[in-house]
Chain A
Amino acid sequence: MPPQSRPTGERRPRAMVIDRAWRGLGPGLEPLSGPGGAPLTRTVKLIVLPLVVRPVLRPELAADFLDPEDAAHLETLIRGSGERLDATARWFTLLKRTRRALGIVAGNPQDLYFQRCFELATEHGAPSAGAEAVARAALEEVADAAGGRTVEALKDHLADAARRSRLDAELATAWGSRRPSPAGAASVALAAEALEACGARPGPERNSQAFTSMVEGAHGSLLGRALWAHAGGVWGRDDLPGHLGLTAHQVPPRPEVGRSASTATLPAPLDRTLFERLFTVLQSSAHRDELPMVPELVRREVGRSCAPLGLYDESLRVAVVLGGRLAVGLDPLGGGGESAPGRTAAHRAVNGRWQREASVLRARRMTVSPRPDPEGGVLDALAEDLRTPWAAYMRRLWVRLHGRDVRDAPLDDLASAWAVLDGVARSVMMDHRARVRSALRALSAPGPGQASEARSA
């Protein structure tokens, strides 16, 4: 970096302050640093910010730009942790070596071990005699965090025929006591109001009257009950089904227990068996330690699968209403014009992002034809998914909300709801890009033996 002279009293980027302080710590930190000597972004995200700087306790250090005094404070904090960071780096090297020796390959070691290494450094200092055994134990502990909450355990649990028939009877009872109701269209105006508050920079207000009213008025449950009653015109458009592809049927069928699942052939969310619903949850490794144990998971899924929208928590059901209202106005191919009626600030943000992504795809020679092409094969099918983006959007959104419901993580305010809605929009585009990539790869090298990303159990 060239030396810079700046008038004193100017605010500086926090990232730069961290970078300078980090480089000032001297050698020994290479395992936590990038090739140029800057801390790895994961080091900043997983160690420096949460464990050293701790902006939660020091809100003045939470900003992107810091006053000179705050910058000096941050530097002191990092300098004061130099020895511990050095020990963290040594532990990380040791854990990586031990992991390789044990033949562990799953997961990103930085994500898995960075925080643990800092804890080990705090507890033991640098690794010394007996450190190998400590490292081994730490690796086993991380690997065991699943604590039996695995697809395998679910399979075993549901292998018992008597248990399955008992669950089946419970599902029949719960399904029979639902209360379908055709009313449900009133929520859409409130949803638009909430979405108008999203997407603006910087983010929505924490509290939104529209969002609160929707949760208090149980507008998410209303939608769920309307789907059971096959209500039409829910989204203010007659050409779209009320369920937006959450089921392949007119109304969601009664969930079955199920014994197997495959990511390649998962049905629409509300058509999934208990097994398929929980399979999706157990398959993603994030937050596994926050899940209930398998028997409890299954017991609660019986009631959940018969609840409106297959979710217990009202704020999550309301997020389905918001997501639906957003999804029907999405325009990834950019043909519909931004002034189309019903577009909110949230629509502009997501459509803008998708169109930016489309220009990246053009520059990377990974296009799909914007107009339908009967000879377009797999690529045309991918473009068709973009022309009806609500199906892919709702599917992903439901899975994410269901995952939150299972681990009791409601959406407390509009800002958190928007973070989920926005994140789903990003994932849908990432999915599209991955599919285009693999379709093009298959076209340039035809033949058997394509690697399949699908997983099954």
Chain B
Amino acid sequence: MPEAGMEVQVTRAGDGTVRIGGEPAGPAFTRAVLDVAGAVLTWPVLGGPGLPTAEVHDAGRAQQWLWALYGERVAAAVHHCAAGEPGGVTVAAEVTALAGGAARLALGHWAARWWPASYVDGMPALEPDVLGLESASLTHQCQQFFDGSGDQTDDCAAELIEEHQAALDPLIHWWRAAPRPTATARRLESVLRLVADAADGAGLDGPALRRLRSALELDPDPGRPAGVPLDLGALFAGPGEYALTAGGPLVAGGRVIARGSGNNDWLRYPPGFVDAAEEAVSWTARAAGAHRRIEVEVVADAAAPAAAPLVAEVRVNGGRADRVPLARREDMWTGRADLDLPGDTVPPGIEVGVLLPGFDPGPGAPGDAAHRDTVRALARRRLADAARPRPYDAYAGPFLAEIAAAARGEDF
């Protein structure tokens, strides 16, 4: 990743695309991306905010924002590179305000898909509507990146507002109750004003947006005594009570011949189905007479639907992968199947994974578990930060959804 104030490499690929910085590395869940006019921007989420790498496929359209993100030297280098000058050049990039907003927006989109919510790990989920509205506000703030020609899916402030407007009233309530001046109160006001402005420009209307407009016109009483405690947990009620109950053994009897943890590969199923903990997938192999069976238990995400066509993938001694359908039982996805265990291998080598058929792009790389741990550590660090009062910073502070999650996490 090129760092702000550092030099960046601008190169031209064979198909005419221009690259700023290197190839993104690491598994998909460590990359925050933004689909902008003429280019795709990528930040490594583990690397902290800074300048993104870019793959510019339409240099002409990208010129509207290149100078504002990287500075005019980089814009000029891309221009020359796209015109066919061979080889790469190294150019000094500049720190810009736009870079901070864009990094934050990309991270918001990332968090909506990869936040490692887990009951097992004690990692609270982020309220999707609160995160969605903050992303809408950031999209509006980053409007220079989008040209309204309809081919940039991240040019979606209006869609995000419509989809997540359920959080408008709670956010207004939170803003009114928040003691001021605090960073959180300023952040709330900034998000709400940006959402109102974006909605106004896009011609959106509705009862919640009208309440927002009048709330912003009547600024809450600045002399109101601070410290009226607000129960954020009640304001953003999570997906309900969650008491992990395994529900007892699936089969009575049978001798346990082996048990172990499976592989919880985030890439293989969509968000909101499976608890993100490394230990969320477990299995037990049993023998009853000549019969061998395997039982798979996967801790469900707290917001998981009651039914989904998830399957476990079971592989014995590196053999063929068999699928075991999973069904929801209390807070678990569970399934069992007969197992064809060769009698002479003890203990058998059993690998178990969980995936959604049709979604699964195939298993990730062997080193992904370490990356998942780093992502969990990042989330933990961010929540710890969110729980601490800190000075207002337009770009580096926690997301509102993280502040709410940190408050809820205390009674998690």
> B147–A379 contact, CB under 8 A?
no
Cβ contact of B96, chosen from A1, A41, A364, A430, cutoff 8 A = A1
Which stretch, A309-317, A392-400, A443-451, touches the partner chain B? A443-451
Q: If A64-B79, A363-B31, A365-B29 touch, does A446 touch B357 (CB 8 Å cutoff)?
A: no
Take A15-B67, A38-B68 as given contacts and tell me if A377 and B83 are in contact as well, using a CB distance cutoff of 8 Å.
no
Q: In whole angstroms, how far apart are the Cα atoms of A6 and B309 in the complex?
A: 61
The answer to whether B65 touches A15 (Cβ under 8 A) is yes
Closest 9 CB pairs of A and B: A376-B358, A379-B358, A201-B16, A375-B357, A365-B113, A13-B67, A362-B28, A380-B358, A367-B361
* Chain B residues bordering chain A, tally (CB within 8 A): 78
8 more CB-based (< 8 A) A-B contacts, given A64-B60, A201-B59, A349-B16: A6-B72, A15-B63, A110-B202, A202-B60, A368-B358, A369-B358, A430-B151, A444-B304
Query: 1/0 per residue B303-317: CB within 8 Å of A?
Result: 111111101000000
A369 and B203 contacting across the interface, CB-CB below 8 Å: no
> Would B358 and A375 count as touching, CB distance under 8 A?
yes
Whether A196 is near chain B, meaning CB under 8 Å from some CB there, is no
Docked pose: A445 CA to B303 CA in angstroms: 9
B1 close to A (CB within 8 Å): no
Taken residue by residue from 222 to 251, chain A's Cβ proximity to chain B (1 for < 8 Å, 0 otherwise) reads as: 000000000000000000000000000000
Could you name 19 residue pairs across A and B whose Cβ atoms are closer than 8 Å?
Answer: A2-B94, A15-B63, A16-B68, A35-B197, A41-B148, A44-B64, A45-B148, A109-B202, A349-B15, A349-B16, A352-B15, A359-B33, A359-B40, A360-B33, A365-B266, A367-B360, A369-B362, A373-B357, A373-B358
| Inter-subunit contact A41/B144 (CB<8 Å) | yes
Task: Judge if B153 is at the interface, Cβ distance under 8 Å.
Answer: yes
In the complex formed, the residue of A with least CB distance to B30 is A363
Q: For A110, list chain B residues within 8 Å (CB).
A: 201-202
> Max chain A CB contacts within 10 Å: which of B42, B94, B151?
B151
Give min CB distance, B269 to chain A, whole Å: 9
Give how many A-B residue pairs fall within 8 Å (CB-CB). Answer: 187
The reply to whether B82 and A40 form a contact with Cβ atoms under 8 Å apart is no
Query: In the bound complex, do residue B79 and residue A369 qualify as a contact, i.e. CB atoms below 8 Å apart?
Result: no
Would you call B17 an interface residue if the criterion is a C-beta within 8 Å of the partner chain's C-beta atoms? yes
Whether A352 pairs with B17 at a CB distance below 8 angstroms is: yes
Q: How far is the CB of B172 from chain A (nearest CB, A)?
A: 19
**Contact yes or no, B113 A446, CB < 8 A:** no
In contact, B63 and A13 (Cβ under 8 angstroms)? yes
Contact status of A375 and B309, CB under 8 A, knowing A96-B200, A362-B361: yes
Report chain B residues within 8 Å CB of A365: 28-29, 113-114, 266-267, 270-271
Q: B66: CB under 8 A from chain A?
A: yes
For A367, list chain B residues within 8 Å (CB): 267, 359-361
Near A by CB (< 8 A), chain B positions 136-150 give 140-141, 143-144, 146-148, 150
Q: Is B347 an interface position by the 8 A CB rule?
A: no
Known: A41-B148, A108-B202. A65 touches B79 (CB 8 A): yes
- Smallest Cβ-Cβ distance to B113: which chain A residue: A365
B358 in contact with A34 (CB, 8 Å)? no
- B101 contact set on A, CB distance < 8 A: 36
Q: Is B382 at the interface (CB under 8 A from chain A)?
A: no
**Residue of B17, B37, B76, B359 ringed by the most chain A CB atoms within 10 A:** B359
Task: Give the residue among B65, B148, B308 with the most A Cβ atoms within 10 A.
Answer: B148
Q: In the complex the two chains form, what is the Cα distance from A100 to B201 in whole Å?
A: 12
Q: Which residue of A lies closest to B266 (CB)?
A: A365
Binding site for B on A (CB under 8 A): 1-2, 4, 6, 11-16, 19, 34-36, 38, 40-42, 44-45, 64-65, 96, 99-100, 105, 107-111, 199-202, 348-349, 352-353, 356, 359-360, 362-370, 373, 375-380, 383, 423, 426-427, 430, 433, 440, 443-446
Instruction: Give every chain A residue within 8 A of B356 (Cβ-Cβ).
Output: 379, 443
Tell me which residues from 197 to 240 in chain B have a Cβ below 8 Å from any Cβ of chain A. 197, 200-203, 205
- Which chain B residues lie closer than 8 Å to A41 at the CB level? 37, 64, 143-144, 146-148
Q: Which residues of A contact B404 (CB under 8 A)?
A: none
User: In the assembled complex, how far is the CB of residue B93 from the closest CB belonging to chain A, in whole angstroms?
Assistant: 12
> Which residue from B35, B72, B113, B361 sits with its C-beta under 8 Å from A369?
B361
**Does B186 touch A at the CB level, under 8 Å?**
no
- A383 partner residues in chain B, CB cutoff 8 A: 358
For A353, the closest partner residue in chain B by CB is B57
A36:B148 contact, CB within 8 angstroms? no
Are B66 and A348 in contact, CB atoms less than 8 angstroms apart? no
In the complex, chain B residues whose CB is within 8 Å of the CB of A356: 40, 55, 57
Q: Is the CB of A201 within 8 A of B82?
A: yes
Q: How far is the CB of A297 from chain B (nearest CB, A)?
A: 25
The answer to whether A105 and B113 have CB atoms under 8 Å apart is: no
A107, B203: Cβ atoms under 8 Å?
Answer: yes
Q: Is the CB of A40 within 8 A of B305?
A: no
The complex places the Cα of A444 from the Cα of B125 at a distance, in Å, of 15
B379 to chain A, nearest CB (A): 15
* B201/A13 in contact, CB under 8 A: no
Q: Is the CB of B150 within 8 A of A430?
A: yes
A440 to B270, CA, bound (A): 7
Contacts of A99 in B (CB 8 A): 203
In whole Å, how far is A273's beta carbon from the nearest beta carbon of chain B? 28
- Asked if B97 is at the interface (CB within 8 A of a chain A CB), the reply is yes
A366–B29 Cα distance when bound, in Å, is 11
Give CA–CA (A353, B68) in the complex, Å: 24
A455–B356 Cα distance when bound, in Å, is: 31
Interface residues of B in 348-373 (CB under 8 A from A): 356-362
Does the CB pair B28–A36 fall under 8 Å? no
- B272, CB-defined interface residue at 8 Å: yes
Quick check: B360 and A369 within 8 Å, CB to CB?
yes
Chain B residues with Cβ below 8 Å from A19 are 68
Q: Which residues of B contact A364 (CB under 8 A)?
A: 33, 109, 113
B119 part of interface (Cβ distance < 8 Å)? no
Contact B140 A34 (CB under 8 A): yes
Report the minimum CB–CB distance from A145 to chain B (whole Å): 16
- Flag B52-85 by CB within 8 Å of A: 1 or 0 each: 0001010110011111100010011001001110
Q: Which residues of B contact A40 (CB under 8 A)?
A: 143, 201
With CB as the reference atom, state the residue of chain B lying closest to A104.
B203
B298 contacts chain A at the CB level, 8 A cutoff? no
* Contact A36 B361, CB 8 Å, known A19-B68, A375-B311: no
Residue in chain B with minimal CB distance to A42: B148
Residues of B within 8 A of A443 (CB): 270, 305, 308-309, 356
Interface 0/1 of B24-44, CB less than 8 Å to A? 000011011101010010100
Selected from B153, B266, B357, the residue in CB contact (under 8 A) with A376 is B357
Q: Smallest CB–CB gap between A448 and chain B, Å? A: 14
Tell me if A363 and B64 are in contact (CB < 8 A): no
A residues near B68, Cβ cutoff 8 Å:
15-16, 19, 38
